[in-house]
Structure formats: structure tokens, C-alpha cells
Amino acid sequence: VIYRISIDGPISPATADYVESAIERSQNDNASALIVRLDTPGGLLNSTKTIVKAFMASPVPIIVYVAPGGSSATSAGVFIAMAGHIAAMAPGTTIGAAHPVSGGGQDIGGDMRQKVENYAVSFVESIANKRGRNVEWAEQAVRESVSITEQEAVELRVVDFVAKDANGLLEQSHGREVDTAGEQRTLTLLDAEAIPIEIVDISMTLRQRVLNVITDPHIAYLLMMAGLLGLYMAFSNPGVVFPGVAGVICLLLALLAGQVLPISSTAAILIVVGMGFLVAELFVPSFGVLGFGGIVSVTLGSLFLYTPDSELAVDRRLITVTVALFAFIVAVIVTLVLKDRRRRAATGLEGLMGKRGVCVSAVHRTGKVRVHGELWNAQSKIPIAKDASVSVLSVEGLTITVVPNEENEP
């Protein structure tokens, strides 16, 4: 049997897990080969390293096939394609543009750019040397972001051949000798009648699909911000349950992504502290100082969310939109909460006017009266006996002025 997996999208920790599990299954089932159908715009360098390492150690021949037409092996895809024991491309495909960029698509700046670029060059050169591919072109792909078509890739010894479909791929790979984990092996991919062996597709598990989504650096950031906003709404409206539940779920998913993404602990603390300031704004009259400090802290944490030694970064446009929306929602909530509190305070005092109560003690100049189950300081212009029924005439601070009701008269 020949197994086949499809990498269609960015390279992530979930992609690396998918590849490793497929190699393990192929080894356990004694598969003749594992085909990796590739179409990727690039991805995380650490995940790419994991995949390349798995290819190099695989006892099962790995055939990387850039397909179907219109697909590309861009950026990290160059490393993966060149690391296969066999590398092939379908008509109408491209490979190249492997210059390292940040997770937001921007160039890496400063000394870190040179550091990451030099590492990527040495990495791709070692792959090319190991697989007997064009080392000079590999370096150009990283330093100059050159990109070539499938025919040019064959002429430059970047890949082995062009195959129009899966059968053509197996026919051209059959009989080739490859080095699998230090052992020379001849590929047997056709049966006795020269018919290609059956190909069985391996799909991502549900766990891998979920992980593949949430480990996107931008999705992980949005999950975290949505989770914090949900908790904030729950704190500001204790009777509302849904935002709190949704917030907890989003935060747990963000924490799951954080286990495999290089998140800066300092940046995460900045975001959490910022949320603390925003929550405090609901309870402490700071005239907006805590709210402003909270937004600044959340913004700084967002900008430096991923560790500086990784190629990851959240797109600043996404940060701008997210923080602006976040600040707007927080401002609306704070405004509504403060208005409601003022209304309650005013309504609560005015609502006592005319209400009936009972004297807990005799009231003349001072005394105690219970109104609606609450004990109030009371005063009256005339003496009122204990247990007499009274009505509230006015409210002044925490003291009410009362008058006796008619039923008290003999």
C-alpha cells in the first residue's frame, strides 16, 4: 500500500503532527511509500524543522508532490519539497520565495533579520546537500526570494521530475534508489503488471484539524481577546451568563494554542494586567485613568505577544482593529454601567418617598424605622411610639423624615 497526505495551507504545529503520525502509520503498516501532496504559502520555521527532521529519519520513502496545477511550494514549502526522497511537481506549479518573514507577512527587522536569514540559508543548504539538489538555487530562494516554474525546477535540479497526475508520479518514481535513514532502498510502486499500487489517503484527525485552526497566530490572538472580552462582560453584568461561558471557552482554546506557539510570558502578563485595570474601572472612580492604562497595556501586550526570537508576529492592522473595537465595547459597557448606577441611586432614594414603615424604636428627634426590610435612621417633628406605622416624608442622606399614619390614632 502507498499512503498519501495532503498539506493544503500554512505550515503549523498541527501540520507537523499530521506528518509525523502519517510517517508512523506508514512504518507500522510497512507501506511502500508516503506521498505528501503539497500546496502551501509557507508557515512556521519550527514546524518546518520538525517535518524535515521527520523526513530525514523516516524509514519509509517520502515522495513530495507539489500539486494540483496552480499550487505552489512557497517559503517553508521549499524546505519541505527539497527534503523529500523524491520531489516532483505537477504542470502549472511553482516553487521558491523562501525568504523568512514574520507571522504577519512583514519583513523581519534589525539584527534578527540577519540571524533568521542566515539560519534559513544553512538549513536549506544542508537539505539540498543531503538530497543532492541545487545548493546555489536553494540559497537564492532564501536570500533573494527567487521563484521558478516546474520545468525550471527540473532543469535546475531542484526537483526530480514533472508528473501530470498520481499515476505518472508513481510510474516515474518506480525503480529509483533512495537513502532512507541510512539504508539504500529501491522504490517498488508498480505491481507485476506495471499497474500503480493502490493509494490510500490519510486525513487529519479532528484534534489535528482543531489544532490547525487555533494555532494560526492571528486566530490564537483573536481567541484570547474574545475570551478576555467575554469575561469582562460577565464581570460588568453579573446576571449575564453567556459572555462568561463563551469567554472561558475562547480562553481555554487560546491557552491550548499557547502550548505550541512561542508566546511571550511578559506580553501575556501585560494583557492580563490591562484587563485587570479595565475591570477595576467598573468599581473605582478613576476618571478614565484605569481604563486608559488598561487599553495601553493590552495594546503593548498585543504588539509583543510572540517571543522576539521567533518569526511570529500579529499583523499590526489586526491589532489596531481589534484593540479599537475592544476599547469601543469597553467604553460603551462602562458608560452604561455608570448610568445605571446613577439611575439606581436616584431611583432608590426617590422610591422611598411615601413608603410605609414601622418604628423599631420610639421616634422623636431621632430613632430607628424599618422600611422594606431595611433599617433607617429616622426623625420626626412629633413623638411617635415604638411599633407605630409611619410613612416616609423625605430622605436626606441616610436619614429619613417620617410622619405617623392615621391608623395609629385612637
**Residue 11 backbone dihedrals phi, psi, to 5 degrees:** -80, 120
Starting at the earlier edge strand, list the strands of the sheet with 72-74: 72-74, 94-96, 147-149
pLDDT tens by residue, 61-111: 999 999 999 999 999 999 999 999 999 999 999 999 988 765 545 555 556
Give the CATH number of domain 2-205.
3.90.226.10
Instruction: Kindly tell me the burial class for residue 239, based on how many C-beta atoms sit within 10 Å of its own C-beta (0-12, 13-18, 19 or more).
Output: exposed
67-79 tens-digit pLDDT? 999 999 999 999 9
In order along the chain (410 residues), what is the average pLDDT of each group of 10 residues?
Answer: 95 94 96 97 90 97 97 96 98 92 55 79 96 96 95 97 96 95 90 86 94 89 92 81 92 88 86 88 74 90 76 79 89 77 60 86 89 86 91 86 78
Asked if residue 390 lies in contact with residue 357, where contact means CB atoms within 8 angstroms, the answer is yes
For Cα atoms 391, 393, 394, give the angle at the middle one, nearest 5 degrees: 135
Q: Which of 260, 310, 308 is closest to 16 using CA atoms?
A: 260
Q: What is the pLDDT of residue 353?
A: 82
- CA-CA distance, 100 to 121, in Å (whole number)? 10
Q: Chain-wide mean pLDDT for the chain?
A: 88
The pLDDT tens digits of the residues spanning 199-226 come to: 999 999 999 999 999 988 889 999 999 9
Residue 16 amino acid letter:
A
Domain residue spans of the chain: 2-205, 216-349, 356-408
Query: For domain 356-408, which CATH number applies: 2.60.40.10, 3.30.465.10, 3.40.50.300, 2.40.50.140?
Result: 2.40.50.140
